[in-house]
Structure 1
Amino acid sequence: MEFDFSAILLGLTVLFGVVWGLDRLFLYKKRKTRLDAAGDEYRDPVPVDWARSLFPVVLVVLLLRSFVAEPFRIPSGSMMPTLDVGDFILVNKFAYGLRMPAFNNKFVSMGEPKRGDVVVFRWPGYTCHQADGSVVHGGNQDCSIPVPNQNWIKRVIGLPGDTIEVHDSQIVIDGKPVVAEEIGPFVGNHARHADEELLSYGAMIWKERLGPVDHLIARMPNRMATPSVPNANMPSVVPDNCYLVMGDDRENSEDSRWWGCMPEKNLAGKAFLIWMSWKGWGTGGVDFSRIGTVIH
């Protein structure tokens, strides 16, 4: 079962607020008058006491997560070496505008993603073209299952209106190849699954420049072939209100090359800081060197 924590927080906020508010409007005075007349010490009923105590706490958490910063944990290696499996990050929720909790509808615009930004978004699923010309989305390549409720993280490569070509790890934007410089082989720990894959395929680390952003990527040309762009799901010209996103672990990332562009309406925010990094028992524990790292 998948849980939408924002929806749960919103539901609890409404529930506690309604219970507390209705009690104060219709029941509190009568109850207090009755107890005072009997000489008893006043106490709220347990459900009302809980609602009164928890409402402000849940409301503050909801507001902070929805409009300021939200924590996420990196579950996979698709953004290595920038983000490691087990990194705990903070996401700026107002970088691109304010959105309604749970519903994600933008009601205040504060900018749009820039090339090179690392963004968190609600995964739109695979794009499937039906025989009648309609387009549907699903959780697998033939769209036979529903799209799961998941937040993903990738790097913005193509902006609306850009003409993009991708062949293996080579990216061409509006006719200009993206500049990348080879740094050297990936160095990791064979005991960690995420590292072992990169090591076993002889991954090389490159420094790539996207606009003003210099960042590291991993290339594993011997791992598997990745889809080129354009393809059936991702056209060469990025559609309006959509973005082409890719992982920094280029041969180990299920991204726009596979499932299509990421709609602007699915944005959750911009990743900006690693506040904790856990590499697992016996394989590094807490990686203090990554704590406080600004995400580029």
Structure 2
Amino acid sequence: MNFALILLLLLVASGAIWALDSLWLAKQRLAGAKDPWWVEYGAGFFPVILVVFGLRSFVVEPFKIPSGSMIPTLLIGDFILVNKFTYGIRLPVINKKIIDINQPQRGEVMVFRYPEDPSLDYIKRVVGLPGDKVAYQNKRLTINGQPLEAQPQDDYLHSERLYYSKQYTETLGEVSHRFLNDVDAPAFIMDAAHFPGRENCLYNNAGVICTVPPGHYFVMGDNRDNSRDSRAWGFVPDENIVGKAFFVWFNFNDLSRIGRFK
């Protein structure tokens, strides 16, 4: 469902009713006459829809985390807020950037339209910037020839399935974050697709090595053995970017999640 398009259509329809009533219909009614129901509701909802549309399109947008690919940073059921202007002002619905502000940085958690199906929104962590050489070999991440140090932490217990994953802390850019690896999961990429720019990637038994094309980003989930990401379906083009995730505002299953994002 394209909620932005639905909001836009409601905004146009209610705005047309409001304008028609303000400029013409109201002057034709007798003094004290009640507004027709369609004017009362249509024109009445216009300012509310206008505010919601403006906030959602240009300021912040709520999302719900549907999968475990970003565990332990984000859990299934987390409701998060996404900053819509950090990476530039974009026209709603068509997502065309009209004002450039900042570019995504390594370590940031980004929401974007899934390249294989732009009707879906995905969330992953930015690992590689345009021009970077990203290597994920034997479950070790290297960027431009520099291995990222992984500091072991206590094993992570997946409460929904009652098993443990190895947990580490690493620093990407200026962001320190946790990630998970499963000991029994293979290092090689089993389901790599034929994506645009695949010639920039080398697949082997140890994983994948990619050079990120201009205007694109390499993203990965923090639950690295349970995330289908740039390692499998390729790069995120700049035009697919939605915004930067920054805040958990609710989780029905765990109220302690409110305000967390680490």
Q: Which residue of 2 aligns with 1:239?
A: 213
Contact 1:164–1:237 (8 Å) recurs in 2: yes
Deviation at 1:103, TM superposition (A): 1.2
What are the within-5 Å matches in structure 2 for residues 116-195 of structure 1?
116-125=107-116, 147=117, 149-189=119-159, 192-193=160-161
What are the within-5 Å matches in structure 2 for residues 1-296 of structure 1?
3-30=1-28, 32=29, 35-36=30-31, 41-125=32-116, 147=117, 149-189=119-159, 192-193=160-161, 196=162, 199=163, 202-227=164-189, 233=195, 234=198, 235=200, 236-279=210-253, 287-293=254-260, 295-296=261-262
Contact 1:162–1:238 (8 Å) recurs in 2: yes
Deviation at 1:77, TM superposition (A): 0.1
CA distance in 1, matches of 2:193, 2:27: 67
CA distance in 1, matches of 2:222, 2:188: 13
| Residues 74-110 of structure 1: per-residue CA shift (max 9 Å, x gap) | 0000000000111111111111111111111111111
**TM-score, with normalisation over the residues of structure 2?**
0.89
Q: Which residue of 2 aligns with 1:139?
A: none
CA distance in 2, matches of 1:276, 1:231: 35
Unmatched segments (≥5 aa) in structure 2: 201-209
Q: Which structure would you say has the larger Rg? A: 1
Specify the code of the residue in structure 1 equivalent to 2:115: P
Query: What SS does the corresponding residue of 2:225 show, helix, strand or coil?
Result: coil
Q: Which residue of 2 aligns with 1:138?
A: none
Instruction: Determine what percentage of the aligned residue pairs are the same residue.
Output: 44
CA distance in 1, matches of 2:217, 2:68: 21
Say what the alpha-carbon RMSD is for the aligned residues.
1.9
| Residues 180-210 of structure 1: per-residue CA shift (max 9 Å, x gap) | 1111211242xx24xx4xx1xx411110111
CA distance in 1, matches of 2:40, 2:72: 49
Specify the code of the residue in structure 1 equivalent to 2:170: E
**TM-score, with normalisation over the residues of structure 1?**
0.79
Alignment coverage as a number of residue pairs? 249
Query: What SS does the corresponding residue of 2:223 show, helix, strand or coil?
Result: coil
Contact 1:114–1:156 (8 Å) recurs in 2: yes
CA distance in 1, matches of 2:187, 2:118: 26
Specify the code of the residue in structure 1 equivalent to 2:248: I
Contact 1:204–1:220 (8 Å) recurs in 2: yes
Contact 2:110–2:244 (8 Å) recurs in 1: yes
CA distance in 2, matches of 1:243, 1:278: 32
- More displaced, 161-170 or 60-69? 161-170
Query: What SS does the corresponding residue of 1:29 show, helix, strand or coil?
Result: helix
CA distance in 1, matches of 2:188, 2:50: 44
- More displaced, 236-245 or 270-279? 270-279
Change (3 A) 1:58 1:231: closer
Contact 1:226–1:251 (8 Å) recurs in 2: no
CA distance in 2, matches of 1:149, 1:270: 18
CA distance in 1, matches of 2:103, 2:118: 25
Deviation at 1:176, TM superposition (A): 0.6
Deviation at 1:148, TM superposition (A): 5.8
CA distance in 2, matches of 1:58, 1:84: 30
